[in-house]
Amino acid sequence: MADEKPKEKPREMRAEVTVPYEMAVGSNWHRFFEGLKEEKILGTKCRKCNRIFVPPRSFCPRCFDDNEEWVEVGQEGRIETWCYSNLMFPGQTLKPPFVPVQVVLDGTDMGFQHRIAGFDLSDFEKVRALVKFGGRVRAVWNKEKKGTIFDIDYFELVT
């Protein structure tokens, strides 16, 4: 009957979606990751606007032309911006707290994203006292190389 109260509250159904993919890294990213194995950070240069892309791009999205020139860029750079992440959620690879950073590596024209680590990150106020907008950082290499972005373990503060 329409006026009868339901015995139970409407339920929620738990759903999870897991789908496997085999994503082509492509020749451009392959060369970048091979460079990391040799502790080199490689970029590409646009012959039209002269910007240096790191990570490298096979083409310049603005000029829409092939980037054919490869260059090795600096392993130190300037902090363009950063944040302090304290939130855990399903699918996140790094365990909080961690410090995402955008670095402009020496000799390049754009921000390169990684993380700052190498000291105790547990207290935000202490982190904020050390990490400075515009400050210098340097890549610290992982001893074990797997050809992934974590071949650079993290960026350390240059003091």
Contact between 60 and Zn ion (CB under 5 A)?
yes
Q: How far is Cα 23 from Cα 54, in angstroms, rounded to an integer?
A: 21
Contact between 158 and Zn ion (CB under 5 A)?
no
With CB under 8 A as the rule, give the number of residues binding other proteins: 21
Q: Which member of 31, 33, 59, 142 binds other proteins (CB under 8 A)?
A: 59
Contact between 49 and Zn ion (CB under 5 A)?
yes
Token pair for residue 140? 């610290």
With CB under 5 A as the rule, give the number of residues binding Zn ion: 6
Listed in order, strand segments (DSSP E) in the chain are 42-45, 52-53, 59-60, 65-66, 69-72, 76-82, 99-105, 111-116, 136-141, 152-157
The 8-class DSSP code of residue 10 comes to: P
Q: Which amino acid is at 3?
A: D
Site for other proteins in 1-20 (CB under 8 A): 13, 15, 17, 19-20
Binding mask 19-48 for Zn ion (x = CB under 5 A): ---------------------------x-x
Q: Which residues are near Zn ion by CB under 5 A? A: 46, 48-49, 60, 62-63
